[in-house]
Amino acid sequence: MTLALFFFYLFSIVVVASAFMVIASRNPVHSVLFLILTFVNAAGLFMLAGAEFLALILIVVYVGAVAVLFLFVTMMLDVDFASLRTGMLQYAPIGVVIGGILFLELLLVGGSYLMAPTISGAPVVPIDQTIDNTRALGQVIYTRYVFLFQGAGAVLLVAMVGAIVLTLQHKPNVKRQDALKQSTRTRTEATELVKVKTGQGL
């Protein structure tokens, strides 16, 4: 067994085990920590496959931003996860349907590879072996697929703004600062003179 094969099996076993613990852990904080472990070992698999750009993106974006955000949100918000899990059984049929579709797609991919293994190895875009993976990926994205790349960014931006607009709620009993109103108010609006009789107080 070579060293690369040993690390492949090591990373694969840890990825499968930690991914199972993500959905099996009762504590949501533990689930997020196992998710971070899954991302790190998946990045190791990408490095073994020669896709160092995907490995670094997985570490920087998912582990450094998304997973840490999940962890802080889970730890800071007082969410009653027990009450959220009470109605999970009603979504079981749709979950089974989606899981069946994904399993069928995996079977089709595996079957197509067994029937024609040379198809998956044929690149759509010619690969220049003289440059590294990150530079080649950047040249393809920002030349041939630049409009699709910018369109995907615009869709994500609209989705982010829409999520903020839908979840932003103004509570009526919360006092907020209005800088324009404070700057334009007069002395009569800002102060109130009360004449208090001696010995009575307010």
The whole-angstrom separation of Cα 7 and Cα 13 is 10
* Rounded Cα gap, residues 137 and 127, in angstroms: 9
Nearest of 11, 19, 85, 98 to residue 55 by alpha carbon: 11
Tell me, what's the pLDDT at 50?
A: 79
Phi, psi at 18, each rounded to 5°: -70, -35
Place of tokens 């969410």: 79
Q: Return d(Cα 70, Cα 59) in angstroms, integer.
A: 15
Q: Give the separation between CA 54 and CA 75, rounded to whole angstroms.
A: 29
What are the pLDDT digits (tens) for 130-150? 777 778 888 888 888 889 989
Region 48-54: mean pLDDT is: 82
pTM score: 0.55
- pLDDT by residue (tens digit) across 106-137? 788 777 767 766 655 555 556 667 777 778 88
pLDDT for residue 158: 92
